[in-house]
Amino acid sequence: MTALTTSDADRVAALEACEAAGRLDDAFLTRFDEQFPRLHGLFTRLYGERADGREQLAATVAAASASWNARPLDLKVHDAQRAADPEWFQSERMLGGVCYVDRFAGNLAGVRELIPSFRELGLTYLHLMPLFDAPLGDNDGGYAVSSYRRVNPSLGTMAQLAELAAELRMAGISLVLDFIFNHTSNAHEWAQKAVAGDPAYADFYLIFPDRQMPDAYERTTREIFPDDHRGSFVQLEDGRWIWSTFYHYQWDLNYANPAVFRAMAGEMLFLANQGVEVLRMDAVAFIWKRLGTSCESLPEAHLLLQAFNAVLAMAAPGMVFKSEAIVHPDEVVSYISPEECELSYNPLQMALTWEALATRDGRLLQQALDRRHELPPGTAWVNYVRSHDDIGWTFADEDAAEFGIDGYAHRQFLNRFYTGRHEGTFARGVAFQENPATGDARVTGTTASLAGIEAGDPGGEDRVVLAHALALSTGGIPLLYLGDEVAQLNDYSYADDPVRRGDTRWVHRGNRPRDAYAQRGDDTTPAGRVFRRLTKLISVRQQSPELAGNTLIPFHTPHPAVVGYQRPGPETTLLVLANVGDAEVTIDPLTLSGFERTAFDPVHDASVDLDEGVTLRPHGFVWLRVTPV
């Protein structure tokens, strides 16, 4: 075994390993030359002290070379198309959808049958929730993976998945899959071997003989799933302790061992060649641990992601990463760059949309748009109203303090409000992972149930549409939780299911709402009205070049309930004004004096005279095509 030395010696070792693994392709060699110095630098920082550094680096690069050789021709053609249009995900035509294969479509064949309806909706991006082999029952909705190379047999096969990816691609829809690389299921072969003492896998996880180290780590780590187990460790049958951030059956991998990086990169390369276009990098904040720290978002977590990015750039250059970091907003953006994750969920905008609807005050959301929206070139937000996960109130306390808001008390209020415990609330949500020790909790519920439709609140439908009008117009890729476009309500039947009852997130992960979809053309139903209004917004977005990219210029009005911004296009600007309050608001002509007097409302196909001001109904909004003077 050899430690990493100079780039030149390690470069030769890597190229020799590539040749030993098969042909060295010219196109690969070009990208190797571009990426190797970067990957080498990252490996040196991560693993410079290790005796097996060079060996693991060479093996990783050899796997990338072999993977490129095996990459199907249609994917290589697609890579070239992406190279010609690297900002493809910034288009105003982008629209994401997310669903569970089993709950939404039964299985992969069922997903295939839905492709026409996805096209009709305008989807260009489809995130299928984890569909890998996972133990029956305890699997955290698929996030406890026992093989990344097998599809869960109840959903289909890997060959079917690759075919589906190709069909989606032909329909203009990019397949998005999770890369669950922080942890595996305890049933994964690596986990079984590690526990059994197989020397090749002994260091794949963080296992300790007694409580000494776990106690030391837990002095500074946070509890993520306190309903399941306290702290960050669980005890093995033989008495030892293993790191487990999430459920007790999800064991964290030990990335301080470069063999783990090499092994996981192999799984990533395998998935890349099935035709996945975007990998959703699950739980990125947790992948590196160091004693005495929170073990979240450490510098090495970024180095690891960049190293995965460099490997992918060699072997599947058309693919991109999406970061799932549901943490402090300063940390969320730290993962976003073309060298790390090109895309990221925007959990701040999501949470503050709900915050604004509860408080009827748009100032925190406006502040986030004013100063936390900008991103580096070549990257984009994924803007969403809700996901399969709980809503955590991840705003920065220091931001809230500027308005005299105490972060802790405000989160308590929001939790009470959205779990229906606040008097007069319109929301019907359920608490997730309430921690009596810290007072912390998060909220679950479908968009329609949280926004007031379930409670019969007259503003419910407007709030659903308003929340989407924001996500569809702030930039990047808007992402729909499929079912929300027909106002799907909470499904409380999870409480009767012994496997799901312990996890309240199932309340908003109901099966495909067939009845609501059947009503989508019927304007006398909430499903029909919400669907009509949202699909109108989607089609307007598709025809609004102003909505491409991420450039957003704040637009302030004298009204705290109004959130405003401009999206400048090549010629005209789209001005968005959204009223999160319960009272009608009129924006006076003076506030609008920076624009030519005649504006156009593309949602209602009407021209608007700005000299008359703009009146926003309660929970109403406008998208106005304006010309700055």
Active site residues: 282, 324
**Which listed residue (47, 68, 104, 143) binds ligand GLC by CB under 6 A?**
143
- Whose CB is nearest to ligand GLC? 143
Work out the number of other CB atoms within 10 angstroms of the CB of residue 156: 21
- Residue 47 vs 100, nearer CB to ligand GLC: 100
For residue 282, the minimal CB distance to ligand GLC (Å) is 5
CA nearest neighbour of 320 among 365, 281, 284: 281
**Which listed residue (140, 223, 228, 296) binds ligand GLC by CB under 6 A?**
140
Query: Angle of helix 53-70 relative to helix 258-272, nearest 10 degrees?
Result: 10
10 Å CB burial of residue 193 (0-12, 13-18, 19+) is middle
Residue 438 one-letter amino acid = T
Binders of ligand GLC among residues 281 to 340 (CB under 6 A) are 282-283, 324
What does the DSSP 8-state code read for residue 489?
Answer: P
For residue 245, the minimal CB distance to ligand GLC (Å) is 8
Instruction: Report d(CA 545, CA 398) in Å as an integer.
Output: 35
What does the DSSP 8-state code read for residue 412?
Answer: H
Given a contact cutoff of 8 angstroms between Cβ atoms, the answer to whether 133 and 152 are in contact is yes
Binders of ligand GLC among residues 435 to 464 (CB under 6 A) are none
CA nearest neighbour of 464 among 487, 441, 440: 487
For residue 444, the minimal CB distance to ligand GLC (Å) is 11
Instruction: Calculate the CA dihedral of residues 598, 602, 606, 608 and round it to 10 degrees.
Output: -30
- The site that binds ligand GLC (CB under 6 A) totals a number of residues, namely 9
- Residue 194 vs 327, nearer CB to ligand GLC: 327
- Residue 250 vs 566, nearer CB to ligand GLC: 250
Part of the chain binding ligand GLC (CB under 6 A), chosen from 135-143, 461-469, 546-554, 564-572:
135-143
Phi and psi at residue 587, to the nearest 5°: -85, 125
- Residue 308 vs 565, nearer CB to ligand GLC: 308
Binders of ligand GLC among residues 237 to 256 (CB under 6 A) are 246
For residue 134, the minimal CB distance to ligand GLC (Å) is 11
- Residue 133 vs 361, nearer CB to ligand GLC: 133
- Residue 390, interface with ligand GLC (CB under 6 A)? no
Instruction: Calculate the CA dihedral of residues 400, 401, 406, 407 and round it to 10 degrees.
Output: 40
Binders of ligand GLC among residues 153 to 192 (CB under 6 A) are 180
Work out the number of other CB atoms within 10 angstroms of the CB of residue 543: 10
10 Å CB burial of residue 341 (0-12, 13-18, 19+) is buried
For residue 538, the minimal CB distance to ligand GLC (Å) is 25
Q: Is residue 235 classed as helix, strand or coil in its secondary structure?
A: strand
Part of the chain binding ligand GLC (CB under 6 A), chosen from 19-27, 136-144, 234-242, 531-539:
136-144
Part of the chain binding ligand GLC (CB under 6 A), chosen from 140-148, 336-344, 529-537, 549-557:
140-148
Given a contact cutoff of 8 angstroms between Cβ atoms, the answer to whether 284 and 323 are in contact is yes
- Residue 228 vs 300, nearer CB to ligand GLC: 228
Q: List residues binding ligand GLC (CB under 6 A).
A: 140-141, 143, 180, 246, 282-283, 324, 389
